[in-house]
Amino acid sequence: MSRRVVITGTGSISSLGSNSNQLWKNLVSGKSGISLLKKINTESLSVKIGGEISDYDSNNFFEEKDSKKLDLFSQYALIAADQAIQQSEIDTNNVGVIIGTGVGGMNTLESEHEKYISRGQRGVSPFYVPKMIPNIAGGQIAIKNDFRGINFSISTACSSATDSIGISFKLIQNGMINTIVCGGSEAGITPLTISGFSNMKALSKNNDNPEKASRPFDKMRDGFILSEGSGIIILEELEYAKKRGARILGEIIGYGSTNDAYHITQPHSESIGASSAINKAFEDAKISPEMVSYINAHGTSTYYNDLLETNAIKKSFANCSKNVSISSTKSMTGHLLGATGAIEAIACIYAINNSLIPPTINLENIDPECDLDYTPNLAKEKNVEIAMSNSFGFGGHNSVLLIKKFS
């Protein structure tokens, strides 16, 4: 018999707040975290908006000598992990850490490359590599907290955090370890990253109206909004958590993961991979579609993703697809790339515990091809026993989590 895996802590930092309570409060009030970018020079960029943590000051969290050795994505991961660890009150060093990221230390890569171009090898910091590499956020969390269990990073583009949670779930379920700190972190708002996404026509260019720019499932959607931040959750084996008196926030009951094997950026035209990942999550959890009350959609606000995710839900939920409540919290947070799945899993946890569905804001002209219940513009009360979180990434990655109210 496989072991049950429960959630005992969450932490986050994003454009919607410096912790999970602030994130949730702003989500259910329909607040947008999208604004004109201030931390980088956007003069030469066609996209000038994003989900920026605009008031962030590393000195509020780290000694200056320490922050100089940490890329922003590691700083965000440490901040969110501290919150989750404090809430969970885990008390052992046999803890695993699995952190997902899409682009890792891009701020460090760009700044050190500029130094190399202007000054040659002598200009490059000896901290360049250990600041930039994608596994370093998890390494830093382990070093700070003396966590000596399994530790690695996952990079499956926009599915990274969801896969980190899903794989952590499986490792605990199968008896390898009792406790894992997992989630994702991203600090990809840089000139180079924005230029790349913009040139492939993935980003919204609605610079004149930032708060309205992210509009999943809307007929006028024109691309996603690049954002930054981190979401971290603590997973534990149920009996271990109960024995130490942990407060249990929810239970992971299913995980599905597939690949489209179709196109480097575009989802499969018949939604085969996404639908298959949803079905695998159902099979893993041993539940049927009608048992799911809420779906936190990947919902990027791009034409193909929103259309094809809608089709995937219809395929997998069949006659139940019209009854399930859906929302895209990316309408408010923007897209945190490799961190987004953890932020959205946290939204699912709060939805379950508050019997409240966060809205999809800016949904004013529903695309007739996107014809499900996307909870437009206002949160709604609903008992949520089981929530689904979808994440789909470049390279054809499809990852789905099922989260249940603990009982």
Instruction: Please check whether residue 161 lies inside any domain of the structure.
Output: yes
The radius of gyration of the chain's CA atoms, rounded to the nearest angstrom, is: 20
Residues 6+ apart with CB under 8 A from 407: none
202 with 350, same domain: the answer is no
CA dist list (Å): 372 to 216, 217, 331: 12, 9, 16
210 with 117, same domain: the answer is yes
155 with 14, same domain: the answer is yes
Q: How many domains does the chain have?
A: 2
Spans of the chain, pLDDT less than 50 = none
232 with 291, same domain: the answer is no
β-bridge partners, 224 = 203
204 with 270, same domain: the answer is no
**Residue that terminates a domain, selected from 243, 267, 294:** 243
CB 340 within 8 A of CB 330: yes
β-bridge partners, 368 = none
202 with 332, same domain: the answer is no
| 288/206 Cα distance (integer angstroms) | 40
pLDDT recorded at residue 34: 98
Instruction: Please check whether residue 248 lies inside any domain of the structure.
Output: no
pLDDT recorded at residue 54: 86
Backbone angles phi, psi at 61, to 5 degrees: -125, -25
270 with 194, same domain: the answer is no
**Residue that terminates a domain, selected from 243, 278, 294:** 243
Provide the token pair at 83: 């919150």
- Domain range for 51 is 5-243
Residues 6+ apart with CB under 8 A from 191: 40, 41, 44, 45, 110
- CA angle, 139 as apex, 115 and 137 as ends, to 5°? 55
pLDDT in tens, 354-379: 999 999 999 999 999 999 999 999 99
Instruction: Please check whether residue 151 lies inside any domain of the structure.
Output: yes
Instruction: Please check whether residue 249 lies inside any domain of the structure.
Output: no
Which secondary-structure segment (H or E) carries 140?
helix 136-145
Residue in this structure with the two tokens 């908006």, named with its chain if needed: 49
264 with 379, same domain: the answer is yes
Q: Is 168 helix (H, G, I), strand (E, B) or coil?
A: helix
Residue in this structure with the two tokens 């370890």, named with its chain if needed: 177
Residue in this structure with the two tokens 């960029």, named with its chain if needed: 45
64 with 199, same domain: the answer is yes
The CATH number linked to 362 is 3.40.47.10
pLDDT recorded at residue 91: 86
Ordered alpha helix ranges (H), 69-150: 72-88, 106-119, 128-132, 136-145
Residues 6+ apart with CB under 8 A from 193: 103, 106, 226
Instruction: Please check whether residue 250 lies inside any domain of the structure.
Output: no
Residues 6+ apart with CB under 8 A from 204: 47, 49, 213, 214, 221, 222, 223, 224, 225, 301
Query: Which residue type occupies 144?
Result: K
pTM over 0.75: yes
| 367/385 Cα distance (integer angstroms) | 29
134 with 273, same domain: the answer is no
pLDDT recorded at residue 182: 98
Torsion angle (degrees, nearest 10) of CA 35, 302, 257, 263: -130
Residue in this structure with the two tokens 């709604």, named with its chain if needed: 380
**Residue that terminates a domain, selected from 221, 243, 265:** 243
213 with 142, same domain: the answer is yes
68 with 188, same domain: the answer is yes
| Residues annotated catalytic, as ranges | 158, 298, 335
pLDDT recorded at residue 1: 63
